[in-house]
Every structure is written in structure tokens, then in C-alpha cells.
Amino acid sequence: MQPLEIKKDIFWVGAVDYNSRDFHGYSLSPQGSTYNAYLVKDEKNVLFDTVKAESADTMLCRLQKVIDLEKIDYIVVNHVELDHSGSLPKLVELCKPEKIFCSVMGKKSMEGHFNIEGWPIQVVKTGDVVNIGKRNIHFVETRMLHWPDSMFSYLAEDKLVICNDAFGQNIASSERFADEISRSALDFAVKEYYYNIVLPFSPQVLKTLELVKELKLDIDMLAPDHGLIFRGKEEVQYILDRYKTLAEQKPQKRALVVYDTMWKSTKKLAYSIASGFEDAGVPVQIMDLKQNHHSAVMTALADCGALVVGSPTHNNTILPTVTGFLSYMKGLRPQNRIGGAFGSFGWSGESVKIISEWLESAHFELPVEPVKCQFVPKHETYKLSHAMGKTLGEALIKKCQN
């Protein structure tokens, strides 16, 4: 339960949850998550964010190894989501802070979650500055990144941004800094987090990155509320560039074929379509929705400019796993993709029409007609499904070149 000094008189006092397996609807297995909170010791001692309620004692243990709780003067609430504010009522009771800083929407969120009568809340906005002694806290609102209340806290003298959920990852480990793990593991965790949490807010990400440029913030550390901390100019630039790339969603020359199947006819079509992509020179990945969680499919989609979805017709519709994935994906609003539908049927055959409608409603381009077969694929159906993959592959290559 040791705190960690990340800069002079600035301490990480959060909690690591090794056993969490579900995070906002996506699977963390085998990873857990981290709930980061930060204490700054100055003439005014400031706690930035808290942890979820069940991790409160862990945070309190770390805090008390650095400071007496009653000496915490201010609490900054960058984000009111309960994994970061669940311990707030307990902290307010124990610390009796002079002030609690939050955004306008942060106050509204706190009113919705807690009984804040008597709390010394002070609302701040972009451009507001609070002096705490040797340091100044500059507040920057980042609305809808990823909640309306979200904001950054910039400590100019330390070149540090405490950035709540932005730039986070779900990594449960004893390491605290991003440069302490392999780049491939870090990059996967960043991508997974972005594509399952931040993706719908990509326009806000790009605006925030531009705002950081406009404000000319000198940053050599980014401290998110989940996962590892980025220290040093090179690490900070890595994550800023990575977020820009993820937010822009430029088409990539890779395809993803996703399906569920009853008696393997739809599976056979999936592999035939994949072979068409291969013949077009497009790398392809196949994922069975019975074997892969929808969040894993979304993470794979991060690297793919084409998505082809298949299901047999089941009760005049599509299989529940396919419905669940399509609903989950539509809410995350991926952009700049092409798509296609395929499936098998016994007597009615509605599945490909339903999948096509889902993809159209999610703003996928559908450059080819769906492919379906009755009962078991025959030679002619294999020719059609292979041609579908090849045509989609050629369309994707063209899209990537534009």
C-alpha cells in the first residue's frame, strides 16, 4: 500500500484492481484496471480525484503514509464517474476540505450522485487558475471526453497534466509508468481502451489535441486516471500522436470477418470471403462471436478498414450474438469503413438484409451485394462469396489510396 512520488511532492495514491473483468461493458480478462488518484503537497495540499468506493481504504492507506487526512485542503474532481468519485463522500467527511473544485457539469453530476449539501464546491472553467503556493493549477474543460463534466488539471510549474479518463488504459500492474512495460503491450492496451470507451468522442479528442496546441502547454508528464503514467517528452508525444491517429480513423488495409453460425454453413462462407480478401492482397482476420467477446472484436476493428458480418437466419432475424455485437459497435460509432453482409438460411433468409440495415445505420459503405445460401454452400455460392471478399478488398485498397 505504498504511495509513489511521481514528481517532487506529487504522489500517486490510487488503487490497482487486479480482479476487475468488466469495464463499461467490455471484458478486461486477463487484465484488471487501475484507479489513479494524485496528491500534491504545497502550501495548500490538493487531492486530484479519488477511487471507486470499494477501493477507498486502499487509497486512504496510501494517503496517510504521505499526509494527515485533515491536512488535505482542496479536492479537485476532474471527472464524476463513480470509479473516480465513489470514495468522494468518505474523503469529504474525513478531510473536511476548504474547497472542492469541479466543472459546471461536474457539480450537476455530483448533485445527481451524492448529497452535497454543505460541501464547499467551487465551479471552475477553462482559463481559471488556482494558486496553491509554489504551484498554480490551470483548469481546462474537456467536455464529452468522455463525460460532459470532464476536465484536465495542468500544473504548469511541474509540466504535468492530470487528465482523468483521457489517455488511459486498463492495465493492472505494479508498474506505474508507461515506459516500464513493452511498447506492444502498451499500444494494445491504449487501442483497446480507445476503441471500447473513447471512440464515439473522436471529434472531441481532435478538438482537445488542437486546444493543447493552442494553449502551448509545456508538458512532460500525462497522468491519467486509469493505467500507466506517461513521463518524459517522448512518451507524452507518443500518446498524443497515438490518440490523433486513433481519432482520425483513416482507412487501413486490413479486413475483419465476423460471424456466428448454427450448422457451420455461415462459417464456411466466412472463410471463403476471407480467401477473397487474401487474393486481393488484403490481410484478413476471422472472429467467431461465440468464441470472442464483442469488445475484443472492436479492438480488432481498430486496425481494419473493412468489416464483413455474417449470421444464419434464426427466428426470422439474426443470432443474438450478432445482434449484440452490432448494437455495441453502432454505439461506438466507427467511421470511414466499408462493409458487407452474408449468411445462410433454411426457409426465410432475412439475416443478410437485417445485417445490411445495421451496417447502413452505422454509416458503413456497402459496395457489394450480400451473399447468402440456402442450407449448405455449393460451388456457385463459394464463387460468389470469394468474389465478394475480393471485390471488397479491391474497394478497400482504393479507399486507402484516396
CATH number of the CATH domain containing 196: 3.60.15.10
Helices and strands (DSSP H and E) totals, the chain: 12, 22
The confidence score (pLDDT) of residue 25 equals 67
pLDDT over 80 (residue 1): no
Cell triple for residue 357?
440495415
The confidence score (pLDDT) of residue 29 equals 60
What are 341's strand-pairing partners? 309
Q: Is residue 349 part of a domain?
A: yes
Last residue of a domain, one of 247, 281, 305: 247
Q: Which of 81, 149, 192, 235 is catalytic?
A: 81
Q: Which of 49, 149, 158, 165 is catalytic?
A: 165
Last residue of a domain, one of 214, 247, 280: 247
Q: Which amino acid is at 349?
A: G
CATH number of residue 293's parent domain: 3.40.50.360
Q: Is residue 89 part of a domain?
A: yes
Q: Mark whether 230 and 321 lie in a shared domain.
A: no
Q: Is residue 267 part of a domain?
A: yes
Which residues neighbour 20 within 8 Å (Cβ) at sequence distance 6 or greater? Answer: 28, 32, 33, 170, 172
Q: Mark whether 38 and 98 lie in a shared domain.
A: yes
List pLDDT tens digits, range 160-181: 999 999 999 999 999 999 999 9
Q: Which of 79, 84, 294, 314 is catalytic?
A: 79
83 catalytic residue (yes or no) = yes
Element at 338 (helix H, strand E): strand 338-345
Q: Mark whether 40 and 141 lie in a shared domain.
A: yes
Last residue of a domain, one of 228, 247, 266: 247
226 catalytic residue (yes or no) = yes
Q: Mark whether 75 and 120 lie in a shared domain.
A: yes
Cell triple for residue 36?
489513479
Which residues neighbour 200 within 8 Å (Cβ) at sequence distance 6 or greater? Answer: 146, 331, 332, 333
Domain that includes residue 188, residue range:
4-247
Which residues neighbour 210 within 8 Å (Cβ) at sequence distance 6 or greater? Answer: none
Q: Mark whether 78 and 202 lie in a shared domain.
A: yes
The confidence score (pLDDT) of residue 32 equals 85
pLDDT over 90 (residue 147): no
Number of domains in the chain: 2
165 catalytic residue (yes or no) = yes
Q: Which of 138, 146, 293, 294 is catalytic?
A: 146
List pLDDT tens digits, range 32-73: 889 999 999 999 999 999 999 999 999 999 999 999 999 999
pLDDT over 70 (residue 98): yes
List pLDDT tens digits, range 235-279: 999 999 999 999 999 999 999 999 999 999 999 999 999 999 999
The alpha-helical segments, DSSP class H, found in 24-72 are 56-64
Element at 111 (helix H, strand E): helix 104-113
Query: What 3-state DSSP class applies to 5?
Result: strand
pTM across the whole model: 0.94
The confidence score (pLDDT) of residue 213 equals 87
What are 123's strand-pairing partners? 102
Q: Is residue 402 part of a domain?
A: no
79 catalytic residue (yes or no) = yes
Q: Mark whether 217 and 264 lie in a shared domain.
A: no
Q: Mark whether 233 and 296 lie in a shared domain.
A: no
Cell triple for residue 193?
481502451
